[in-house]
Structure 1
């Protein structure tokens, strides 16, 4: 029966055209033993089944079966050996190809094990170092610290290495035997096994020595060239083939004082000419555009030198030459003395004619300059305006004749006070003030006024220069907001790190207390640590609100200076450049002063950022705090200060210092030495104003070339005495206070309810303003006070207060908020029976505020 089934199956297989490879591989003896049985049919019927195999073994005999099995295994072994040989050859080719790439590359490659020790370094590194690499780089990645110039940078990379993270651009500086240095840059990728376990690093190295030295040499040569050009007595300027200014020395700028501010790299010759024409450089009567076009053509023709009297009042021999790259070099040689001698030789008669012509020319030029000036020019005799140019009339929004004889106060907000202030300039000395002009149309413009002594009809008068700074203020405000947003973005990492630490402590201690609630000492310890962490979080939140000016009040208060200065570390960390080491030197922990914390925070932060900008290549930034009594010479310099003890905050850098030429101007508003777009000139002015607000002063204490040290002198006061008092209770004469509590955050609402109930209050809860109105109506409005959050969904706190006012105008309301501006706080507390308290708040502060609210008559 088995043979018939097998033959039937074999017939079916044969009819499909399939052969039996298993049978074709049988030895001859086994095939003969099979006789008429179709072995392929047996295999096809299920060779792996023990029953057919046993039947097969019984049919063919044990010897035949063993021979067949041996032959099958031999064939399988030969196939495995051939596959292994092919794989080995492919692996050898791949390895040889990788080594060829490594030898041919100008870079070098390396590999470490899981302990960061080198297990492979390509020969290219030996050729670069010319010594054994291990004598320089050590035995592993953790030995590279001495080759990284900045310790803070190495600390960050070392943390990445210990964590098994990829790293890029690790810069190494290696001293050589000839006194020089080699500069290498490492990049690495972490290697992990199939289970994700760290197995080591594979990476490459790049020799950046030539690139680094070339950059240093280029900067050096640029400095040398600029120093050389500033040392010569001739004026020098270079334009490129596109007519853009590349180099201009100081002597050339001195020859053109009216356009010196436009002689900066990047300005085109055409732009400079147009500025000169606008400021009086064009003396003709034709089209200014045609004059500019004609002057451009002359600039490109490189004609013979010409003599000219420039705007600084001196004569120059002007020569222009083409450069090999298509640009233009212009040289100015001062020939004033030569011209003077020529005029003297012309004779007395000629001299008189020249003098008269010069006077007429001077008068014409003066009138032209005054009329074309972009600033308003006014002569005021302390009773009325006696002269005003076109720009002044335009700035004040009147016609050309609308200012003659008009009182100055008419055009300014609080004009009488401004006139009194400006009148002092007629007695001598210059004065600079700001005022808000009101045009006849009602439009307001911010003006900067510079007042100088003048004479009108032989009587003392005041020369006023009006500068409309409205647009500049707007742009500066936008720039400050943009810079602040960038700073906030860079700060986010540092602040998030601090909050994560606090949340780790809060969550960790909460879980520890939860594990063993019966251990009272353990629970009390955990609760205290949770309270400390929450206080740290509240302090950091307060600092963030100070930084963003989101404070309920900016009035002066007693400020502990040491913690405020020390907390700046969180904000400075993401803003300080690599290579700058920030050191806090706090020598008096009890230093206190009376000042707005917002103002003091911003002042110290401004000084720190200025110090950062003064050290582009790195250095030490020190923020120190002491309490001292300044010497008599200090009070002699600042006559308005009261002698006594002062808290002194010093911010010191290791930059190049402040030059003597600008030391007296650093406190002026809008004065800056930074590039256009990188500074408003308001930072130090705000610092000085912050010191004056507190009754102190700011000083620049360092000498030129020795870095800069800016000091804030703030009157020191004694620390406040904190009297311990028991928590206030809300129960009066045995009656409980009925409180409607509204907050959308369930956990906060639960905390507030427990605190109020502990003090004896009867509390009704609501999750938002809509639900609060429902609870109020259900209770018939029988509540002593409402405690509500300001920001809530569906209906917020202010809208709820307005709705409740219609039901009960005398209902007392306590607002709780995480942030609010002065304007918002003023609106919320404008009427009696309203108070606002900042979150987070401890139970004592909540009950104290509610007691004060209920006690108000």
Structure 2
């Protein structure tokens, strides 16, 4: 029920209406008169002897009693009349109270509510229904305790719940939820306990208000406050703001650096008088009277907001200090560093002193002006919006032209996007000061980065613009070097992780090798050790391959059969230095035998893109899960991807616990250049590249529906057709040339161990091998053998003469000689140069015997 609706007082059913006061008095009056008359008659009869005295006395007593009863009846009637009048007055007052309650409820900005002693709602006023646009109980529940689900902070709700359970009054209980129409609502409730005459708790009466607008305004105000503080900290001038009562509100770091002796005092809430006294005491002023007078003088000047003054502060630098009154009665103080200007002024003053004896006052003034402008470290230009009319030496040096050659030229010709910038700067002639950054174009094509400040000026009696140019090219270069240094730090962290993995592999290789050496007569033990060494070297090769993929140093885009489980596990090495603190990586590889036909470079990059997207979605930490399974997708999957062939697919799922992807943009995430990240934080190509990798490999990529709901993370599934595990070779087929003869190979490598390994492989395949440790020795061996070689196997990077230089030298001897290059890394440009001529191939190290012989067999077959 509504608290404004109160029932009327109930009357007993069937009861007669009470007699009013006058009616009761008229009914009792005849009885009183009759009693008086009868008593008088008895007295008369007794006096005349007609009746004896005892009988008369008895009759008199009876009459008196009648008279007393009549009087009491009259008194009771009067009391009842007064009670009726009081009742009517009370009923009228109650009606007035009801009307007031209804009026207050109608005009209240919130709503009213009431509970019983069990905290269940007895009433919720209609104002709440209108606000929520639904039945309030569907959101508020049936009891005050149901509000706990709407309180954001559990600790806060625990405090309010304790008050409610104890029957104490509470204020500002804030609940928040999404309304039925999608609005975010914030409501605030207040209540007082209701107690009976015996002091026992009977329930709560309270009210509530809609605090949504207030909360949103507070959030916006806090955001704007952060923006303002950030902007103030970004300016190059010192800035401080005092309130109307002289207390510090805002102070940036530039201002604190100007006052190092009192930097600790420049905190919000300090009074200007406290700061001045600390400055006086720490600055060496002696005597309490002197300090008090100095503080009083500075306070007076601070409140008067006088014209800007120049002074040297405690950091030893010169500043132009200006104070301005704010609209609210506060004071803004700005410090502009003019140390360089002061230095120049002092130099000019000294020069002027030497010239005063020989030059007239007017010429001295003109010379002072010209010297100030010419010696200024900034370029100074006067531009009348049509052409440059004056440029000082610094401006000429910035633009790399003589000052005289600049005069008369249009300004736009020296700036990139000159016409647009000129139109913007032209507004300064009308008093609209401008400050911007742009690129200056020198006649030789060099670009210089400039800070340009434009202010109003006069030239030849007409409006003009004074431009101050500051060359910040070197500063931007240093900033760029700092950014590159930060990137190198990230690379260093990654290198540390890779070194850790390689140390593990080298420990296994070296350890098993030593174990095999200790007991070479035990063939089973030696075979076990050799197999473990091979496994460790294969893992090292895979890790190196992923490192090359990451640095884009692979030289081929061809697809190959890839074991997916080792590739997925090795992602941990690369992700460890790239993920933020608080993000855990879980690698779940269920199928160790999963193989796919794919380009390992693009697959590795696709998985990295998905992992980094998951990292960005978890700014507060979480778990990034990379799971590998082999599945046969259902019919619905192939209905969505009609171009795919049914069968087994290797599925790699990358799942995060981030904010998820809203439904309204899920159809656009695969578009190139589409991104929800801030400018400079992403290109929008990451998921597009993942999509392209899946298409290139004959598979598909999907955003999983269940885990991808907004607010509960996202899960991307990469489906790649599964292929059979390649068979292990049982031996080496002979490598023959024409007529079944073994091939004669010139083997060139500067690493002895690598050269011995390659020689053994080639000799086992029936080849005749001639070794050389570098390019120059290889030419000697070639000439000694008369050039009777079927092919050359050469490393690329070698001392004295590298592989490419060797190939060029061999071209002059035999242009048709096949050459197989081996390299640990190479860019695409280097690889293109090595294989530009027919009869040349390149193979990445480490190379297996099978891969080496297959490449040589292809070369010799040409």
Give TM class, smaller chain: 0.3 to 0.5
Q: TM-score, normalised by structure 2?
A: 0.44
